[in-house]
């Protein structure tokens, strides 16, 4: 069902919520106006926002950021964990740029779901969804080459962390929206897509950091002050 107009009609939201409450839980896909899709197990209205229930938690988005909600027969699989060669590229790029590899992996998971051939509606490309101008500036010759893309994206993330004095949330906001909106407000700008992006990456990072040591890898030079709160 497509939602028309600038806003997400309250009656439509309430109708969807009542429908969700009347039938057993099933997988559904929430499609945002920015083209991003989220698999949800349920949702509920909270004022002018929707609380989307995910397999590993929940996220709150403005109601008018939702384009449509689609039923589906089965849950999509979780993002495929990085294969050993990709994991090596992540760790090497993280070490070269003084990053936590779990943070780098979290950015990749949210940006592309580990798909090296991903292309967004805005023409961002590859694992770390680099824009053509950014790729050129960073010297990424083949944006669909996993190693080059990760190396370029890691360099850019390092630049943003330095620019914002190691404030991870601001760096992530600038990675998503560009430095301009962040510089104007000196905070995560009130852009629904950007706020959702920062929340998703931070949740991924927290989940990876909190895994048992045997099930994850950590960059030994990561400092406590850089870990998610």
As a whole number of angstroms, the distance between CA 28 and CA 31 comes to 10
Q: Are residues 119 and 188 in the same domain?
A: yes
Options 28, 67, 102, 111, the catalytic residue: 111
Return per-residue pLDDT of the chain as tens, 229 residues. 333 333 333 333 434 434 333 333 456 787 877 777 777 777 788 888 878 777 767 778 788 888 888 776 444 455 655 555 899 999 999 999 999 999 999 999 999 999 999 999 999 999 999 999 999 999 999 999 999 999 999 999 999 999 999 999 999 999 999 999 999 999 999 999 999 999 999 999 999 988 765 444 444 333 333 445 4
Q: Are residues 92 and 55 in the same domain?
A: no
Active site residue 193: no
| Nearest-angstrom CA–CA distance, 217 and 201 | 17
* CATH label of the domain that carries residue 23: 2.30.30.100
Does 58 share its domain with 131?
no
Pairing relationship of beta strands 42-46 and 49-54 according to DSSP bridges: antiparallel
35, 89: one domain: no
Give dist(CA 42, CA 49) in Å, integer: 14
pTM exceeds 0.75: no
Do 61 and 106 share a structural domain? no
Contact by Cβ (8 Å): 125, 135:
yes
In the chain, beta strands by DSSP E: 28-32, 37-40, 42-46, 49-54, 57-62, 66-71
């Amino acid at each position: 069902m497509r939602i028309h107009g600038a806003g997400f009609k309250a009656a439509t939201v309430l109708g969807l919520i009542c429908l969700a409450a009347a039938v057993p839980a099933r997988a559904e896909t929430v499609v945002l106006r920015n083209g991003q899709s989220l698999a949800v197990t349920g949702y509920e209205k909270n004022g002018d926002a929707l609380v989307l229930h995910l397999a590993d938690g929940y996220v709150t988005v403005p109601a008018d950021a939702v384009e449509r909600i689609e039923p589906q027969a089965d849950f999509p699989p979780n993002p495929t964990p990085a294969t050993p060669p990709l994991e090596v590229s992540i760790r090497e790029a993280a070490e070269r740029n003084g990053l936590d590899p779990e943070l780098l992996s979290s950015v990749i998971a949210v940006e592309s779901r580990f798909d090296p051939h991903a292309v967004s509606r805005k023409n961002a490309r590859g694992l770390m969804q680099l824009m053509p101008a950014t790729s050129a500036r960073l010297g990424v010759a083949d944006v669909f080459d996993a190693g080059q893309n990760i190396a370029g994206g890691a360099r850019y993330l390092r630049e943003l962390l330095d620019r914002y004095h190691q404030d991870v949330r601001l760096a992530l906001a600038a990675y998503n929206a560009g430095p301009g909106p962040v510089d104007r407000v000196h905070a995560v700008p009130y852009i629904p897509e950007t706020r959702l992006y920062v929340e998703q990456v931070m949740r991924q990072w927290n989940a990876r950091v909190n895994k048992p040591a045997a099930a994850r890898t950590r960059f030994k030079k990561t400092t406590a002050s850089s870990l998610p709160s």
